[in-house]
Amino acid sequence: MAPERYCYAFEEGDGKNKHLLGGKGAGLCTMTQIGLPVPPGFVITTKANVDYLESGGQFPEGLMDEVHEYMEALEKKTDKGFGNPENPLLISVRSGSALSMPGMMDTILNLGLNDETVPGFIKLTQNERFVYDAYRRFLQLFGKIGLGIQDEHFDKIFEEIKGKYHAHVDTELNAKALAEVCDRFKELIKQKTGKPFPQDPWAQLVMAVDGVFKSWTGKRAVDYRRQFNITPDMAYGTAVNICTMVFGNMGTDSATGVGFTRDPGTGENILYGDYLVNAQGEDVVAGIRTPRPLRELRTDMPEIYKQLEQLRHTLEQHYREIQDFEFTIERGKLYMLQTRNGKMNAWALCKTSVDLVKEGLINEEEALLRIPPDFLEQFLHRRIDPDAKVEPIAVGIAASPGAAVGKVVFDADRAERLGNEGEKIILTRIETKPEDIHGFFAAQGILTSRGGKTSHAAVVARGMGKPCVSGAEGMDINYELKEARIGKHIIKEGDIVTIDGGAGAVYLGAVPMVDPKVSDDLVMLLQWADKISRLEVWANADTPEMAAKAREHGAKGIGLCRTERMFNEADRLPLVRSMILANTPDERKRWCDKLLPMQRQDFYDIFKAMDGLPVTIRLLDPPLHEFLPTIEELLNDISRLKEFSQVMYSLEQLPGTAMMIDPELYKLMPSIETMTREFSEYKTKKLDQKLLKQKEEVLRRVRVLTEVNPMLGNRGIRCGISFPEIYDMQLQAIFEATALALRDKIDARAEVMIPQVCTAKELEWVKERAVRIHGEVEKRYNVKIPHKFGTMIEVVRACLRAGRIAEIAEFFSFGTNDLSQATFSFSREDAENKFLPIYNTEGILRDNPFEILDVMGVGRLMELAVKEGRQTRPNLKVGICGEHGGQPQAIEFCHQVGLNYVSCSPMRIPIARMAAAHAVIKEKGRAVTKAL
């Protein structure tokens, strides 16, 4: 076996092997090899980090020998010496794993500086200020990463010295002041570690590599991986990139910047980014100074601008993907320091997907695969109502689109706490740092007073799809007073603001918003998706409005219309209650007759909205008590009524107004207003003993209907069989609505769906009645009424008896909400509120089965049901209408087991269409890999 190798020079490493070299290392190798200007360097592999972690923090054997070898090669290439006081080689030591984790791990710059090399470097550069600036940056980074001293101790010293020399920004500090900063930093290191700052560059290098290795298991990185579900097979360990330092802060012919090969906000095909003259890379990303847009470089440094223009095309041609790169200009010479696939918002992602296909760089399937289905959620973000007459109180940089309303919170920890309590938060900071990441997760949006489009806040917010306004002009934040001043406005913590990350605007209070609209590029992509998808996407929609929205988003049918939602309308509920509480079938039928025209109209309207597409109508499902008042409410009403009659009686005996009521009586009433209102109700409705009797009768019936386990009780088909008048009425309404729609030239296609079925006999029982009612309606309307008759599969037994059930059902629809509950034998509400978080942290259940389909258990039941159902009825149509129907991973599974459609909420339809296409493309990819 070849000896383990831990280092690769940028000329040697395989740029495709991100797993081994990390994303940054792979990018540096590729750029070097395609002829872009990269400073010389080498990569220590992720394998070295993994071996280090697995051995409990020991450097793998031979690692440092290799590092020495590569450092010597670097000395030769650069003609400098590591630790050489005359001509020192300075390096950066940067982390970088297979997946980009922006700012989550550590980086040290200017390593190699010490008290001896500093004077040499000054002689060489003839720039004392620059060298001390580099030294103080190195001391801080090294102190933090190599020695574990918190940033704030360094920041405090730096601020003190700025104060002493009356400097507002760091560039106002001269060499002497910066040298003083360096001395103070070295004192701090000694004080905190008990040892002097290590002067030996080799010792510095060992400690820096050790610090970067450790950062993989640091809290920030671990939290980030957990949040974004980055598993070890996706990225394990960080590489360490050792690169010759180049300086963007060597004067006005030097600069540093971040670029995108296209605009990540709009997708427009232009060079895009920010730069800062006379600055180091971290200044741009940290948002410490507000950078200038890259287009200004065209006049500032035209040659370099031209070079960047060429370079962006080279990068795109090579990667066939939009790149996000970092560069430095040192004394008029351009260097590339990083490249990676550009993160962008959903609009830009869709636009660039379509454009890259048009430009012939990728094909339609590759264009689709660029778009993570869940990302399309951003199209579903709300925007500020364009008609709202509002004036922003501040304008900043439109750093991440979408609008958000929330309470201003100035601190990430508090934002996290309040966010977890359900508050809507706008995390508001001068600038953000990686350690604020938990605040981002909890916030609706991010607002900063400093920084540009490539500041930390902007990059992270865009990645998360959260609105962000950065560099809000004129906003002065005071963390101590917990307030921000903008002109005459003072915003205190807890005040509500609205931010518009698409326009960069900040408003006081909650501004009205409008629903989002899908872009033309997305429409095109979804057409490409539909062309290859096998699964159709249907919608769960209960109203004509929802149906229209579903259709607009491309639904090919309604997979679930929950009729109970119609029963809950204000004008229906009293009728529904009376129908449920009826004492006899005749009485129930009379109430059902009153509901019939309403349901008929409901169905007619939905058929009209879905003209020509199937509409799956589920007969009544929930337990009846959901429509009734609770026993507690009734008992309250009754006791109140009793008190009330007593009071009214007394009132009638008393002359004058309510104010003259005996104080004892007064106590019975909560307030004068309530009493006055109730008094007038009393007068108009003649509340009396009769009402009391009625309430008592309702209570009696509710007690009769009460069940021990209503969710497992008389609901769904069981209720349909015990109270047949309800299903009869619904069937009649469906068939009559179809007949009326057909008469009006609407192509109505009803699919009647029965809930909670566990045995074929139940279905047979309903089907017989359906056939009879269908025949009667056809006769009465003298028209052929097309329809299908099918069932939900949401009971474990139904999965096991699917073969028999398919003898009667023409279609199945998996109700994975109930099926998951039944398979796990615990309910969503109790699980999520009580033990699921513990199961999650204990590693017992990684996912919430009500959000992520449990493929191993529930999925297995589904697979069995599909197989056995189709054995009986080969053309059995099978869909899914539980929440999982809109969830990309579940959609992939549904594709694999041969479902015909997934049905999800109208807003998730674009996501589901994209996921359905991904399922096909991934399947093809697997087939190709297998064939190889």
Catalytic member of 438, 456, 553, 918:
456
Q: How far apart are CA 147 and CA 131, in angstroms?
A: 22
Amino acid letter, 704: V
In the complex, minimum distance from the CB of residue 794 to ligand PEP, in angstroms, rounded to a whole number: 4
DSSP 835: I
Tokens at 677, concatenated: 């209102």
Q: Sheet containing 445-448: which strands, arranged edge to edge?
A: 394-395, 505-508, 496-500, 403-409, 425-429, 445-448, 468-470, 397-400
Q: Sheet containing 41-44: which strands, arranged edge to edge?
A: 7-9, 41-44, 238-244, 91-97, 107-111
DSSP 658: G
In the complex, minimum distance from the CB of residue 754 to ligand PEP, in angstroms, rounded to a whole number: 12
Closer residue to ligand PEP (CB): 9 or 852: 852
Tokens at 610, concatenated: 């879905």
Closer residue to ligand PEP (CB): 794 or 868: 794
Count Cβ atoms below 10 Å from residue 394 Cβ, excluding itself: 24
In the complex, minimum distance from the CB of residue 815 to Mg ion, in angstroms, rounded to a whole number: 4
Closer residue to Mg ion (CB): 756 or 900: 756
Tokens at 560, concatenated: 């679930």
Q: How far apart are the first and last CA of the chain?
A: 26
Interface positions, 180-239, toward Mg ion (CB under 5 A):
none
| Phi, psi of 832, rounded to the nearest 5 degrees | -70, -35
Is-catalytic flag, 881? yes
Closer residue to ligand PEP (CB): 118 or 560: 560
Q: How far apart are CA 778 and CA 772, in angstroms?
A: 10
882 binds, among ligand PEP, Mg ion, none (CB under 5 to 8 A by kind): ligand PEP
Q: Where are the beta strands (DSSP E) in 689-814?
A: 749-754, 787-793, 811-814
In the complex, minimum distance from the CB of residue 449 to Mg ion, in angstroms, rounded to a whole number: 49
Does residue 353 belong to the site contacting ligand PEP (CB under 6 A)?
A: no
> How many residues form the binding site for ligand PEP (CB under 6 A)?
10
Give the interface segment with ligand PEP, choosing from 218-226, 475-483, 575-583, 812-820 (CB under 6 A): 812-820
Closer residue to ligand PEP (CB): 816 or 905: 816
Q: How far apart are CA 79 and CA 518, in angstroms?
A: 56
Q: How far apart are CA 802 and CA 867, in angstroms?
A: 9
Q: How far apart are CA 605 and CA 611, in angstroms?
A: 10
Smallest Cα–Cα separation from 273: which of 283, 263, 281? 263
330 binds, among Mg ion, ligand PEP, none (CB under 5 to 8 A by kind): none
Catalytic member of 592, 719, 881, 894:
881
562 binds, among ligand PEP, Mg ion, none (CB under 5 to 8 A by kind): ligand PEP
Does residue 882 belong to the site contacting ligand PEP (CB under 6 A)?
A: yes
Q: Angle 346-358/520-532 helices, nearest 10 degrees?
A: 70
Is residue 320 part of an annotated ligand binding site?
no
| Phi, psi of 574, rounded to the nearest 5 degrees | -60, -40
881 binds, among Mg ion, ligand PEP, none (CB under 5 to 8 A by kind): ligand PEP
Q: How far apart are CA 510 and CA 404, in angstroms?
A: 9
Q: What is the number of helices (H) and of strands (E) in the chain?
A: 37, 31
Does residue 562 belong to the site contacting ligand PEP (CB under 6 A)?
A: yes
Count Cβ atoms below 10 Å from residue 540 Cβ, excluding itself: 24
364 binds, among Mg ion, ligand PEP, none (CB under 5 to 8 A by kind): none
Interface positions, 531-560, toward ligand PEP (CB under 6 A):
560
Buried b (16+ CB within 10 A) or exposed e, 62-98: ebbebbeebbeebbeebebbbbeeeebbbbbbbbbbb
Residue 211 near residue 198, CB atoms below 8 Å: no
Binding mask 841-880 for ligand PEP (x = CB under 6 A): ----------------------------------------
Residue 29, CA distances (Å) to 43, 136, 240, 649 in order: 9, 30, 13, 92
Give the list of residues 6+ apart from residue 574 with CB closer than 8 angstroms, or none.
none
| DSSP element (H, E) containing 155 | helix 151-164
Which DSSP string corresponds to 427-441? EEESS--GGGHHHHH
In the complex, minimum distance from the CB of residue 798 to ligand PEP, in angstroms, rounded to a whole number: 12
401 binds, among ligand PEP, Mg ion, none (CB under 5 to 8 A by kind): none
In the complex, minimum distance from the CB of residue 894 to Mg ion, in angstroms, rounded to a whole number: 17
Interface positions, 603-622, toward Mg ion (CB under 5 A):
none
Does residue 881 belong to the site contacting ligand PEP (CB under 6 A)?
A: yes
Q: How far apart are CA 631 and CA 3, in angstroms?
A: 77
Q: How far apart are CA 913 and CA 553, in angstroms?
A: 9
Q: Angle 201-215/63-78 helices, nearest 10 degrees?
A: 120
Give the interface segment with ligand PEP, choosing from 272-280, 452-460, 701-709, 811-819 (CB under 6 A): 811-819
849 binds, among Mg ion, ligand PEP, none (CB under 5 to 8 A by kind): none
In the complex, minimum distance from the CB of residue 881 to ligand PEP, in angstroms, rounded to a whole number: 5
625 binds, among ligand PEP, Mg ion, none (CB under 5 to 8 A by kind): none
Binding mask 786-805 for ligand PEP (x = CB under 6 A): --------x-----------
Of the residues 794, 854, 868, 892, which one makes contact with Mg ion according to CB under 5 A: 794
Is residue 331 part of an annotated ligand binding site?
no
In the complex, minimum distance from the CB of residue 773 to ligand PEP, in angstroms, rounded to a whole number: 24
Closer residue to ligand PEP (CB): 247 or 850: 850
Of the residues 92, 328, 400, 816, which one makes contact with ligand PEP according to CB under 6 A: 816
39 binds, among Mg ion, ligand PEP, none (CB under 5 to 8 A by kind): none
Overall size of the chain counted in residues: 932
In the complex, minimum distance from the CB of residue 564 to ligand PEP, in angstroms, rounded to a whole number: 8
244 binds, among ligand PEP, Mg ion, none (CB under 5 to 8 A by kind): none
Give the list of residues 6+ apart from residue 199 with CB closer than 8 angstroms, or none.
114, 115, 116
Closer residue to ligand PEP (CB): 180 or 621: 621
In the complex, minimum distance from the CB of residue 579 to ligand PEP, in angstroms, rounded to a whole number: 20
| Phi, psi of 153, rounded to the nearest 5 degrees | -65, -40
Closer residue to ligand PEP (CB): 88 or 622: 622
Is residue 728 part of an annotated ligand binding site?
no
Closer residue to ligand PEP (CB): 84 or 817: 817
Interface positions, 804-833, toward Mg ion (CB under 5 A):
815, 818
Give the interface segment with ligand PEP, choosing from 388-396, 683-691, 813-821, 905-913 (CB under 6 A): 813-821
816 binds, among ligand PEP, Mg ion, none (CB under 5 to 8 A by kind): ligand PEP
Q: How far apart are CA 148 and CA 583, in angstroms?
A: 76
Give the list of residues 6+ apart from residue 223 with CB closer than 8 angstroms, or none.
437, 438
DSSP bridge partners of 407: 425, 496
Closer residue to ligand PEP (CB): 144 or 884: 884
Interface positions, 582-621, toward ligand PEP (CB under 6 A):
621
Interface positions, 48-87, toward Mg ion (CB under 5 A):
none
In the complex, minimum distance from the CB of residue 902 to ligand PEP, in angstroms, rounded to a whole number: 12
Interface positions, 720-759, toward Mg ion (CB under 5 A):
none
Is residue 817 part of an annotated ligand binding site?
yes
SS3 label, residue 513: strand
Residue pointed to by tokens 């992720």: 46
Is residue 816 part of an annotated ligand binding site?
yes
Catalog residues that contact ligand PEP under the rule CB under 6 A: 560, 562, 621, 794, 815-818, 881-882
Binding-site entries for Mg(2+): 794, 818
Binding-site entries for substrate: 562, 618, 794, 815-818
Binding-site entries: 562, 618, 794, 815-818
Catalog residues that contact Mg ion under the rule CB under 5 A: 794, 815, 818
Catalytic residue set: 456, 881
